[in-house]
A = this chain, B = another copy of it.
Amino acid sequence: MSPRASSPATVKIGDVARAAGVSLGTVSKALNGTGSLREETRRHVQEVADRLGFVPDSRGRGLASGRTYTVGFLTTDSFGRFTLPILMGAEDALSVGRMAVILSDTRDDRAREEHLVRSLRGRRVDGLVVTGRSTDERARVDIDIPVVYAFTRPDDPEQCAVLSDEAAGAALAARHLLSLGRSRILHVTGPQRHRSARVRAEAVVDTAGDALVGEPMFGTWSEEWGRRAIDIALASGLDVDAVCCGSDQIARGVLDQLHERRIAVPEQVAVTGYDNWDVMALAARPPLTTVDMNLGEVGRRAGEMLLELIDGREPARCEIIVPPRLEIRGSTV
């Protein structure tokens, strides 16, 4: 524990003004980066403030404006793979508005979520970003401050949301396989009850057209399902030259099982994933061509939209669909 004796909290803004030989207003502008000051004045004041150990009390902003300059980030995804890039993007955007982010992890527990929302209201956060692992619809959060949903979809169309274009992502992968001349494409994906699996499957079916082999194979988001799907497909005599997978984990299982059966990737069968999850995609043999949902951009746009709502501005659009991109690697070319 650090000593508290020499706490710089005791240095007042007047001390800085006196030592720097400028007015209180100049100190305020210099340290807050507001108003117009010569760069050398700003730097001089900052140096004096640093030397004296002056720390501006940012709570003052809140008292003056009625705002707390804090935002809640409510997530159901303890695991973090989807949430973290969204959080980082949102942090980038919100820090421009000098907002701090209070993390609230519901752990998929409805009672815990209600408790956390009450606690965020009690702290008078200025707004809320709501996210989660699933793109299925979720109940809207009942709170009387600006809310933006990111990646996850609110059941109330009046709510503002930034979503990933999952159909476009799946179509990108299928079109890439077609462009390589593949004409017998199998689609292996997650559970049919998940919106992500259904939307991606529809887009693959639409895009691949006659090049689609059999029906989409729904299963689980796991390597084990990827391996088993290959066994099932080959046992039933399907002749495929490409497997378009609904996730990187599924694709990883598909690759392993093709390798096991000495089927050459990409020469005999090309494989695509979905997520661009580096630990899966880069360690795969060969490295995996996969769809990147640009989750950082989803978070950034959500943060920007929330800042607009908090400032009382009407955002240009209340729903933003972020386009995905395709990372092309050795599993297809």
A residues within 8 Å of B by Cβ? 1-4, 6-9, 55-59, 68, 70, 73, 78-81, 84, 87-88, 91, 98, 100-103, 105, 107, 118-119, 121-124, 143-147, 158-160, 222-224, 249, 252-253, 256, 279-280, 283, 309, 318
Contacts and interface: CB of A to CB of B under 8 A. Distances in A.
Contact of A101 (B87, B98, B103, B118): B103
Nearest to A305: B1
B56 A144 contact: no
Nearest to A78: B88
25 contacts: A1-B146, A1-B147, A2-B146, A2-B147, A3-B144, A7-B144, A9-B124, A9-B144, A55-B118, A57-B124, A58-B119, A58-B123, A73-B103, A80-B80, A80-B84, A84-B84, A88-B107, A91-B103, A100-B119, A101-B102, A222-B283, A224-B283, A252-B283, A253-B283, A279-B280
A105 B91 contact: yes
B80 A144 contact: no
B84 A78 contact: yes
A107 B88 CA distance: 10
Please give the count of copies of this chain that the complex contains. 2
